[in-house]
Structure 1
């Protein structure tokens, strides 16, 4: 598996990572998938304290314990469960982040986190305080590097200008090209993108519209109506043949140098292996990239902008 440098850090991450949220709570099944990921050459594993009330961190940490020095463990904080655990609220206070990291370390069974990420972010946060908390955690050796998981342009710009973040996690796919507007800003500041949702809820897999939920059938997906999807998806598959759609989708995201790693979820070993085959495929040609941009929409975030 090819690896890429994560932003301004010293971390090398596999082009395909494993988004652990989809693993579920069956420990044996989850560990089988993680073991298969390691066999495939994946070294980047992404979890969060929010997932399954922290159980996801426990499962991932246990499965990775024997290879801890060979992998990059990323987790996130900021979404805080209430006492009854039936809802959560946003808490990006420095005091909470410094407390949450210790809970994550305990669940993960490790004494450091490679990449600690703010699991969201708003302009109302004490951004300077958040950055200060992350820098303190770095100085203490509890985290090696930090980043944010956010799609808000005004928040991303603040962290890019004020901090030494290594990464920004964003939803990015052929059907959601909004992050492309911000790639130059990230590159100019030595920041990498971690791309989630590369197959757009399964629409960019070979099952295409068979994966469409009732909501997508009724309301479409982002800027695309369901009727548009019925036209666009078969068109992409046909014109990029003999590539399968999953390969085209992942290679498009990987074609951008701002992207360090793509983290599709995988609930089965077969899904994981399919994603790895797609990542190992031949890179898209310039002609293929141009064609894909012509077939899809280049959108931008309309909200959370300060310009």
Structure 2
């Protein structure tokens, strides 16, 4: 497995990670046995980077990941997040970046995962009511206490990233990035590269849309939250489907799947980028890892830009309420 470095503090992980969110929340039905088998298969194939968060399944996802990795701990990098607060019934309670909450959230994540230390600890969303210096200061205390190794931010704006990095080195920024979500190219990527911060794209397959497996919104389970996303609704769905069909044609020409082409494109954007495609099934995991064998020429990249230039996707990437929580 190819490895890549995140940040300048010594963190090195597999070139592709595994996003575990959908195993416990948001994307329809769950199958714990298959999820565990998928994580184990990922580890068998050389994936060393697993991504979870305390909000996924209201803690259930951290427990799931912890049960698997405790038996194979030495070389596995576990990233988790705090800040999005949910009630026991799953209701969203807001964003919390207060220092006391940072400390208690970390202790809770350590307990749920059963780990002695969290390898990479992200602030999931920036709390607009708490100065980032205070939040990151508390996170830095966790590093000094030996509870966390490296710090990260998620969906943070350039100015926020700079202020945070001045308090304690930030190792990674996690933000959505894919063929149909390219706004980070304008300011985010230049900022993290200037500061020596690694970049971890989540939803690099456009929440599965770029795989070509969805033909109508009804292909999503009734409880799948993607049904509420603008890009999966109405006229936007069809327009986006037309874009994905063109990607599918190019993938066929390249002898790969649409998912592999989309992931290969993200990987080609820089050696400081480590995508974390999420899946809860082994067959999709194995397909995703095949992206590491897809080579894209400059001509291929130009063709992709013609098909899906920045801003081509129809609809915002989240519903309005979720878009409001992004530190733009």
TM-score normalized by the length of structure 2: 0.83
- In the alignment, which residue of structure 1 is the partner of 2:13? 13
Q: Distance in 2 between matches of 1:217 and 1:147?
A: 28
User: Within the alignment, does 1:98 sit opposite 2:103 as a pair?
Assistant: yes
Alpha-carbon contact 2:158-2:191 (below 8 Å) kept? no
Q: Distance in 1 between matches of 2:237 and 2:22?
A: 26
Query: Which deviations, in whole Å up to 9, do the C-alpha atoms of 1:101-159 show, x marking residues without a partner?
Result: 01111111111010000011144322110111111111111100010111545534543
| Distance apart, 1:218 and its partner CA | 10
Deviates more, 1:149-158 or 1:257-266: 149-158
- In the alignment, which residue of structure 1 is the partner of 2:257? 244
| Distance apart, 1:196 and its partner CA | 0.9
User: Within the alignment, does 1:200 sit opposite 2:211 as a pair?
Assistant: no
> Which residues of structure 1 form unaligned runs of 5+?
none
- In the alignment, which residue of structure 1 is the partner of 2:309? 297
Q: Distance in 1 between matches of 2:90 and 2:228?
A: 32
Q: Distance in 2 between matches of 1:117 and 1:218?
A: 24
Matches within 5 A, 1:151-162: 152-160=157-165
User: Within the alignment, does 1:142 sit opposite 2:147 as a pair?
Assistant: yes
Deviates more, 1:176-185 or 1:67-76: 176-185
Quick one: which of 253, 273, 278 aligns to 2:266?
Answer: 253
TM-score normalized by the length of structure 1: 0.88
Alpha-carbon contact 2:156-2:327 (below 8 Å) kept? no
RMSD over aligned Cα atoms: 2.9
Quick one: which of 29, 36, 57 aligns to 1:31?
Answer: 36
What is the DSSP-based 3-state SS (H/G/I as helix, E as strand, rest coil) of the residue aligned with 1:204? Answer: helix
| Distance apart, 1:235 and its partner CA | 2.1
What is the DSSP-based 3-state SS (H/G/I as helix, E as strand, rest coil) of the residue aligned with 1:283? Answer: coil
Q: Distance in 1 between matches of 2:310 and 2:281?
A: 32
Matches within 5 A, 1:53-132: 53-82=58-87, 85-132=90-137
Quick one: which of 152, 167, 172 aligns to 1:167?
Answer: 172
| Distance apart, 1:64 and its partner CA | 0.5
CA 1:10–1:237: 2 relative to 1, 3 Å: same
Give the number of equivalent residue pairs. Answer: 304
- In the alignment, which residue of structure 2 is the partner of 1:287? 299
